[in-house]
């Protein structure tokens, strides 16, 4: 009878160890899950915050009512720019008419391609006309997106937030401007201070 009790207690001990082992494994899995969540939440928060900051960086001037790009494609039109008294000037009416224009800054050996475009909300945005990773300087508007002519990366027109393609993090880099009369004016100092991001 004593041997049977010992045998039973041995089996009981074995069952107890199995149950405790399962509980330890369960606790381990919960700990791993909590660690994964603890690491994932800040990453998702950072990505979301980065997207919001990208949208906040987009600055422009309200110059007209809403623009319906619908299913259209708008090619880039070259316009003449004039540099004088520390600013580069382009005609506002041409930007409003064409919706997407390109113009070079050329002065004392410096050259930088620039662009101006109208968002669907009617805001004028000026930017450096370079898709830096692929080195393209030409873009077009397709529906409500800015599209690089070389790599076909797409960005939302309103925020320049990346949608698809290989150069998502490098939309045309927004550069400030002022509107005086019928001229869009960009400070020469801002152009000269621009640095490539890659």
Instruction: List the chain domain ranges.
Output: 1-57, 61-193
Across 98-121, average pLDDT: 93
Give residue-wise pLDDT tens across range 118-165.
999 999 999 999 999 999 999 999 999 999 999 999 999 999 999 999
- In the chain, DSSP assigns E strands to 61-62, 73-75, 77-78, 82-84, 87-91, 100-107, 110-118, 123-128, 139-142, 145-148, 154-156, 162-164, 178-180, 183-187
pLDDT > 50? residue 52: no
CATH of domain 61-193: 2.102.10.10
pLDDT computed for residue 107 by the predictor:
80
């Amino acid at each position: 009878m004593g041997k049977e009790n010992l045998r039973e207690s041995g089996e009981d001990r074995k069952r107890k160890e199995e149950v405790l082992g399962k509980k330890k494994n369960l606790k381990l899995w919960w700990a791993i899950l909590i660690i994964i969540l603890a690491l994932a939440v800040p990453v998702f928060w950072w990505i979301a915050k980065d997207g919001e900051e990208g949208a906040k960086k987009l600055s422009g001037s309200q110059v007209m009512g809403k623009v319906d790009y619908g299913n259209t494609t708008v090619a880039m039109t070259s316009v003449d720019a004039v540099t004088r008294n520390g600013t580069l000037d382009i005609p506002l009416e041409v930007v409003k008419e064409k919706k997407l224009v390109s113009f070079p800054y050329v002065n004392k050996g410096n050259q930088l391609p620039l662009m101006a475009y109208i968002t669907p909300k009617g805001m004028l945005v000026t930017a450096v006309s370079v898709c830096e990773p692929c080195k393209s300087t030409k873009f077009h508007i397709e529906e409500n997106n800015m599209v690089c002519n070389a790599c076909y990366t797409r960005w939302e027109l309103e925020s320049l937030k990346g949608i698809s393609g290989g150069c998502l993090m490098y939309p045309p880099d927004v550069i400030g401007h002022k509107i005086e009369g019928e001229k869009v004016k960009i400070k020469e100092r801002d152009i000269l201070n621009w640095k490539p991001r890659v």
